[in-house]
Structure 1
Amino acid sequence: MSVQGTILVLDGVSTNRIMLKVQLTAAWYHVVQGERLAGLAALLRRTRPDLVLTAQTLPDGTASDVKKVMAADPALIDVPIVAIAPQNDKAARLRALSDGLDDVLGHPFKDTLLLARVRSLLRARADRQELHLRDDSHSIGFGESAQVLLAPPPIAQIAILTQTARTGALWRKCLAGQTRHLLTNHTLPDLKGVLSGATPDAIVVELGSDASGRNLLADLRSRGATRNTVLVGVSPDENPGRAAEALDRGADAVCMGGFHTDEISLRLETLIARKTRDDRLRATLRKGLADSLTDPLTGLHNRRYAMRALDQIARQAPEEGRGFALMLADLDHFKAINDRFGHAAGDLVLTEAAHRLQAAIGETGFVARIGGEEFMIGLPNTSTEQALKQAEMICESICGQPFRLPDHPALIPVTISVGVKLCAPPELARRDETDPVSQAIRSADKALYAAKRAGRNQVYIRQSAA
């Protein structure tokens, strides 16, 4: 049997624990049991659960106390906690949500609803774990990354989708007195109105007796723009089957028994705070990826990016039936600039040269700094004439105007040598053991040295294979 995750069940009543264990074990979850707050920290360290189901009241504490114990361990801060409260105890439900628990299930409950909620929470946790794994700075040697806590989110956009405009206006009016976030309301067919502007941070969807609301949840969760949007369903009754289906279709939470302003505002606040944290982490990851492909001094792409881009250009060229050009360019006598004016001045020259090279290439290809004063340029879909013209523009962009340094009144003349390798479709179509990218780089490197030997400040082209 494949175990799908570890769930800790906390309840002072043994029959309740046994019932939950039977339900969860049948769904292939590994169940660990506890009955009180005492000894919980050690039990958590030993079992490392993926989710905790706890009675609202334990013999020596509450579900809120369970959350406090878990919050003290950074490794458990993302583990979902679901409180189990009496079916009609609205005060207990609101208290648990106010304490920051992930959900509250009214006892007794149907297996379908329990398992759907477990699946939903475990999916969400798996997504967050994936974000943290990607952000794990141990792998690159910068020590332990800081734990990001749930902070009050900025002003968020919340869209309300209901069957009728009247219901939407009523819900919006009720929520306006409970939340600081910006609210809009739409009818269910008006999905275009919801998605035409800025993507909402959260969407509240009315789940009627028909399937339109549940289908909409699946639609929203599948779209790139709303994949990470908070989705809250509102069911008019206590129908567990409808709630379970909504959770399986992508809802982050389902409020049963109609629209309850207090409950919905509490759920939205917690879920939007979590989304805000995850969005910041995603932004950090995107920036980290961009930084890993960027030269920090010049802002150009680096060697890692250049090799990937060049490989992609080489693979696509035979399919498109057009060749490409690879250029290696090197600032002439750059060491003399460093020796005379200092390395800070040399860095300024490199930065300005990078700006000029990027301006000369524009959107036609890529420019990367691959060494001290050496640059790589890749031009897809390029003929011999186009490549020669582009290379001459590169030379002119550097030597056409002297470089100015802030602390030196004298202008610095700088030139550049360029080696070009033209890769034509017949050459690319040959199937042999030679790596076309490495071969092209070697040829461009030989062309660059030929330009240097010929007196520098010029272009040398190689059209034949190395």
Structure 2
Amino acid sequence: MSARVLVVDDVPANVKLLEARLSAEYFDVITANCGTQALEICQRAECDIVLLDVMMPDIDGFEVCRRLKSDPRTHFIPVVMVTALDSPSDRVRGLDAGADDFLTKPVSDIVLIARVRSLTRLKMMTDEMRMRAITSHEIGIQAPEREAIADTGKGGKILLVDDRPSSYERLAPVLAEEHTVDVEPNPSEALFHAAENNYDLLIVSLNLENYDGLRLCSQVRSLERTRSVPLLALSEADDNTQLLRGLEIGVNDYLLRPVDKNELLARARTQIRRRRYTHYLRDSVQNSLEMAITDPLTGLHNRRYLESHVGTLGEQAAARGKPLALMILDIDFFKSINDTYGHDAGDDVLREFATRIRKSIRGIDLAARYGGEEFVIVMPETDLHVAGIIAERLRRSIANEPFSIEKGTKRIEVTISVGISMLEKKNEPVADVLKRADQALYRAKHDGRNRVVVADAA
């Protein structure tokens, strides 16, 4: 699907010109003739990128951009200011308002299309993570946009790759006003340096003496450990071909020499904010994945995860001709703990019980809370004899050491009953193994609790 570009300008001729340029490159174009209309379109999520004029009759472009970037509904939409204003202070003002780029009219068709493509490509790469993060928010995780909007973009860690002392000796102190800066004057060492450190931004000169700056940028993008780090290129003013190639291989932004100090800081903040936003999204997705498979009280896997993975473990055991044992554990008289000491005490017992389970099993074993006070442990490459030893060791660790409740002010005795079974036939459903373990658990309960019972053969 083609990206949808919103062109915002109150001069019809300008709108028509941009519309024609973009349509020729197969972008879908929608238009707005004022800031208010642009804000409404963006709030309805009808565009992928905004090309925004500054001088408009109702709300100027700086304020429109500021509102877009401060609204969680529109914060993630790239904004490129396209205006006749050409002073460094105007560019800095636009970047400080949150613009992703600031292009001065007349804009080269090639530069314009390259920037639109690179920014829409970046947006589409994050859209799926955004949707997952929204789902995370719906199940209770804080929305990442709130942190991103509040982020100043300062306090980043930057690697400056430049082999000209006259250049890096001027730029590094400027960047150091807001960030931690490392200078790498040897381009052949820059990739290793970048891979070994968790940088928020790489600034690369494309005019290195004896090294191809574009090749370095390409290597950064191809290496797993540096692939997501933003790249800001420094280039000579007359080298559009080099800049366009840089944008094609993944350079995020660029600055032309002579470098304006304030614009350098503004563009660095923009890239660092974007990187942190991407990290917020990834963290939200990771949290949502963990919540989907983890029991929040005990930290063990939940029943959903167990049921989706135990079958695979059974198939692997059968295919390799290896044994697979399974045990069901139940805390004895757990209802009386809740009734006597309260549900908070019951939660204390469940958390400590899960901790003792983790200490008693191997990394390849799968432990899950099956429901209430019932837990399941699946043990690959384990026969009934070894499983019985592990179960008995766990039973003793529970029975021999009282559990602390009520913030450690009380200690109570706890015991467990355990039923064990084993995968006995090559194509036997694991559900049958689980059922036999459950029947063994029932016998353990019936025979007096605080014991381990091995299931009868199928």
TM-score range (shorter-chain normalised) is: 0.7 to 0.9
Q: How does 1:148-297 map to 2 (within 5 A)?
A: 148=146, 149-153=149-153, 155-162=155-162, 164=163, 166=165, 169-170=168-169, 172-176=171-175, 179-186=177-184, 187-195=186-194, 197-208=196-207, 212-257=212-257, 259-297=259-297
Q: How does 1:314-393 map to 2 (within 5 A)?
A: 314-393=314-393
Indicate conservation of the 8 Å contact 2:204/2:213, yes or no: yes
* Structure 2: unaligned runs, 5 residues or longer: none
Structure-2 separation of matches of 1:230 and 1:114: 20
Structure-2 separation of matches of 1:408 and 1:51: 57
Give the Å deviation of 1:150.
4.1
| TM-score calculated relative to the size of structure 1 | 0.85
Matching of residue 460 in structure 1 with residue 453 in structure 2: yes
1:231–1:346 CA distance, 2 compared to 1 (3 A)? same
Give the structure 1 partner of residue 434 of structure 2: 441
1:307–1:191 CA distance, 2 compared to 1 (3 A)? farther
Matching of residue 53 in structure 1 with residue 29 in structure 2: no
Indicate conservation of the 8 Å contact 1:110/1:240, yes or no: no
Give the Å deviation of 1:292.
3.2
Further displaced range: 85-94 or 371-380: 85-94
Structure-2 separation of matches of 1:259 and 1:337: 70
Indicate conservation of the 8 Å contact 1:421/1:462, yes or no: yes
1:395–1:208 CA distance, 2 compared to 1 (3 A)? same
Matching of residue 135 in structure 1 with residue 133 in structure 2: yes
Query: Structure 2: which amino acid aligns with 1:302?
Result: N
Give the Å deviation of 1:37.
4.0
Matching of residue 421 in structure 1 with residue 421 in structure 2: yes
What is the SS of the residue equivalent to 2:381? coil
Give the Å deviation of 1:232.
0.8
Give the Å deviation of 1:423.
2.0
Structure-2 separation of matches of 1:144 and 1:172: 37
Query: Structure 2: which amino acid aligns with 1:352?
Result: E
Query: Structure 2: which amino acid aligns with 1:52?
Result: V
What is the SS of the residue equivalent to 1:28? coil
Indicate conservation of the 8 Å contact 1:171/1:259, yes or no: no
Give the Å deviation of 1:26.
1.6
Give the Å deviation of 1:121.
1.1
1:385–1:335 CA distance, 2 compared to 1 (3 A)? same
Indicate conservation of the 8 Å contact 1:422/1:463, yes or no: no
Query: Structure 2: which amino acid aligns with 1:439?
Result: D
How many pairs are equivalent? 454
Indicate conservation of the 8 Å contact 2:200/2:229, yes or no: yes
Give the Å deviation of 1:203.
0.7
Q: Which runs of 4+ in 1 moved over 6 A?
A: 407-410
Give the structure 1 partner of residue 105 of structure 2: 107
Could you list the per-position Cα deviations for residues 3-49 of structure 1 after superposition, in whole angstroms to 9, with x for gaps in the alignment? Answer: 51221223344443323212211221111233444654455567822
Give the Å deviation of 1:294.
2.6
Query: Structure 2: which amino acid aligns with 1:347?
Result: D
What is the SS of the residue equivalent to 2:372? coil
Indicate conservation of the 8 Å contact 1:5/1:30, yes or no: yes
Could you list the per-position Cα deviations for residues 53-81 of structure 1 after superposition, in whole angstroms to 9, with x for gaps in the alignment? Answer: 12343466642133245457643332221
Could you list the per-position Cα deviations for residues 239-260 of structure 1 after superposition, in whole angstroms to 9, with x for gaps in the alignment? Answer: 3332222122222212234544
1:373–1:464 CA distance, 2 compared to 1 (3 A)? same
Further displaced range: 117-126 or 300-309: 300-309
Indicate conservation of the 8 Å contact 2:136/2:287, yes or no: no
Structure-1 separation of matches of 2:20 and 2:207: 32
Structure-2 separation of matches of 1:298 and 1:82: 48
What is the SS of the residue equivalent to 2:287? helix
Give the Å deviation of 1:272.
1.1
1:307–1:238 CA distance, 2 compared to 1 (3 A)? farther
* Structure 1: unaligned runs, 5 residues or longer: none
Give the Å deviation of 1:444.
2.0
Structure-2 separation of matches of 1:57 and 1:449: 78
Give the Å deviation of 1:199.
0.9
Query: Structure 2: which amino acid aligns with 1:438?
Result: A
Structure-2 separation of matches of 1:225 and 1:296: 31
Further displaced range: 117-126 or 58-67: 58-67
Give the Å deviation of 1:267.
0.4
What is the SS of the residue equivalent to 1:189? helix
Give the Å deviation of 1:449.
1.8
